Amino acid sequence: MNIPSSKWHLAIEKRRSRRHFDPNLTLAPETLAALDKICSQFAPFPHARSRFVTQSAESIFKGAIGSYAKVKNAPAFIAFVGNMDDPFVQEQVGYTGEGIILEATALGLNTCWVAGFFRPEIVASLIEVRNRERVLAVTPVGYAQQSESWEEKLMTGFGRSHNRLPLSKLVRGLPREKWADWVNVSLEAARLAPSAVNRQPWAFDVQDDGITVFVRTMGPEFNVSKRLDCGIAMLHLEVAAVHSGCNGEWEFLASPQVAKFKIRS
Ligand SMILES: Cc1cc2nc3c(=O)[nH]c(=O)nc-3n(C[C@H](O)[C@H](O)[C@H](O)COP(=O)(O)O)c2cc1C
């Protein structure tokens, strides 16, 4: 499937993590069908897939520790699954999952990546998880309560969790005055990507023929791979590049590099 770049580029600006859903707003049959369709159609890598589950997400967050992942009243969820035999499974699941999340956003729905604080064994009892596969993350899907509850505001640090680092702290390589037009737009989109605890572990090396994404921060991963966050940023980068008329291919790279987006000449 080709990336619907205009629609997803708009969704990048619009998306915010939401955790408390409106129990009175159910998903219409055409919305259910659209979510199911995007999960089966947007599967750019053989070892990363998404499964839409039309079952209350309550049970998969039940018993999760702390308030960070307190998801309430979500009518459905999507599981992001990867085959652990693939050395690049984390970035592939991040990239694939974010495509699904942007499509859900474009459909007017709300989501929240949850990778640390859910119960994978419950998810595995609801979907088929094959040998060597693992549920790496999930997102609740539904319509969020119109305004953020006090509890939700506390969780997001009154909006601070949506703040992002400036490009000046994230980019090396070619000086800005030598950047082609698509580069700035693509880096701005990558910068807006969500990441676990908003740690923004990525950085970007700009070259004549493309951009390399690499892991900027060392230190503990807290059970969620930084390469998964980087996969999410890769999808944002490519959506904006394609939207600016620049197509390319990803080449996966060994750590601490993640992947290079090579422009097609
Ligand atoms: C891989 C990943 C894992 C996440 N895990 C959780 C989680 O376990 N619980 C939670 O409440 N939020 C989780 N989040 C949401 C982040 O906290 C949120 O994306 C970040 O603070 C940026 O805010 P924004 O999504 O509103 O832009 C996760 C996000 C990502 C990308």
Partnered with residue 140 across adjacent β-strands are 77
| pLDDT value, residue 67 | 47
| Cα separation, 261 vs 265, whole angstroms | 12
Ligand 1, atom 19, residue with closest C-alpha: 194
* CB-CB contact of 97 with 150 (8 Å): no
Q: Which residue has the higher pLDDT, 186 or 221?
A: 186
Atom of ligand 1 nearest to the CA of 116: 8
Ligand 1: residues within 6 Å at CB? Answer: 16-17, 19, 68-69, 112-117, 137, 161-162, 194-198, 224, 228-229, 232
Atom of ligand 1 nearest to the CA of 64: 8
18-35, pLDDT tens digit by residue? Answer: 999 999 999 999 999 999
pLDDT confidence band for 62 (50 / 70 / 90): low
Question: Ligand 1 centre and the CA of 34: distance in Å?
Answer: 24
| pLDDT value, residue 30 | 98
Atom of ligand 1 nearest to the CA of 194: 19
Give the mean model confidence (pLDDT) for residues 133-151: 91
Q: What is the share, in percent, of the chain residues with pLDDT greater than 90? A: 81
Give the mean model confidence (pLDDT) for residues 218-243: 94
DSSP secondary structure letters along 180-218: -HHHHHHHHHHHT---GGG---EEEEEETTEEEEEE---
Q: pTM score, two decimals? A: 0.95
- Is the pLDDT assigned to residue 4 strictly greater than 60? yes
Question: Ligand 1 centre and the CA of 179: distance in Å?
Answer: 31
- The number of angstroms, rounded, from the C-alpha of 81 to the middle of its chain's C-alpha atoms is 13
Question: Ligand 1 centre and the CA of 118: distance in Å?
Answer: 12
| Cα separation, 107 vs 235, whole angstroms | 18
Give the mean model confidence (pLDDT) for residues 213-241: 93
Question: Ligand 1 centre and the CA of 198: distance in Å?
Answer: 6
**Burial class of residue 189 in the structure, from the number of CB atoms within 10 Å of its CB (0-12 exposed, 13-18 middle, 19+ buried):** buried
| Cα separation, 244 vs 182, whole angstroms | 6
Question: Ligand 1 centre and the CA of 168: distance in Å?
Answer: 23
Neighbours of 132 (CB within 10 A): 12
